[in-house]
Each structure stands twice: as structure tokens, then as C-alpha cells.
């Protein structure tokens, strides 16, 4: 999948569920509360049919939108490797 398309798709999904969060921030993790993090995990898990769980919630993975895209790409690759 085209990385820019995925980034734009993820941005749109997350802005729809968390309209007050600045997804251009390089301090995204600091802007999120536990409900926001849970909403992101559930939304991305469902949209990409991947398993995102609490160990995936790290400041590195939630640093910014690009790091979230990389997390999703990694989980998709892991899922494909298991199939």
C-alpha cells in the first residue's frame, strides 16, 4: 500500500474520532489520554485487521502520525509473515 495514502487514511480516521488532537504534533503521545489511546488502538486494529495491544503503546510508537503509520505497517507485515 502507498505510504502516503495510508498516512492520509489514518489521519482522516483518527481526526474523525479525535477532532481536538493535533496529529501534526511531534508530541502526540503527550496529547493523548487513555481513552484517546484506546480509541486509536481500536480504530486502527479494526481498519487494518491487525492486533494492536497495550505493549504497542509506547512514546516511540505514538510520537507522531508517521510513527503510527510505521506501527501499522509493521503489524501488517507481521500478520502477512504468519500467513
For residue 41, what is the domain's CATH number? 1.10.1200.10
Helices 3-17 and 65-82, axial angle in degrees (round to 10): 110
* pLDDT band at residue 2 under the 50/70/90 scheme: confident
pLDDT tens digits, 18-77: 999 999 999 999 999 999 999 999 999 999 999 999 999 999 999 999 999 999 999 999
Domain span at 42: 3-18+27-82
Please state the domain count of the chain. 1
For residue 73, give every residue at least 6 positions away whose Cβ sits within 8 Å of its Cβ, in sequence order, or none: 3, 6
Q: pTM above 0.85?
A: yes
* pLDDT band at residue 1 under the 50/70/90 scheme: low
* pLDDT value at 3 more than 70: yes
Amino acid at each position: 500500500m502507498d505510504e502516503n495514502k495510508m498516512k492520509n487514511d489514518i489521519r482522516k480516521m483518527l481526526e474523525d474520532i479525535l477532532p481536538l488532537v493535533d496529529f501534526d504534533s511531534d508530541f502526540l503521545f503527550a496529547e493523548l489520554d487513555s481513552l484517546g489511546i484506546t480509541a486509536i488502538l481500536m480504530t486502527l486494529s479494526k481498519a487494518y485487521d491487525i492486533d494492536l495491544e497495550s505493549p504497542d503503546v509506547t512514546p516511540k510508537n505514538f510520537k507522531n502520525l508517521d510513527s503510527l503509520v510505521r506501527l501499522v505497517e509493521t503489524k501488517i507485515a507481521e500478520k502477512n509473515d504468519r500467513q
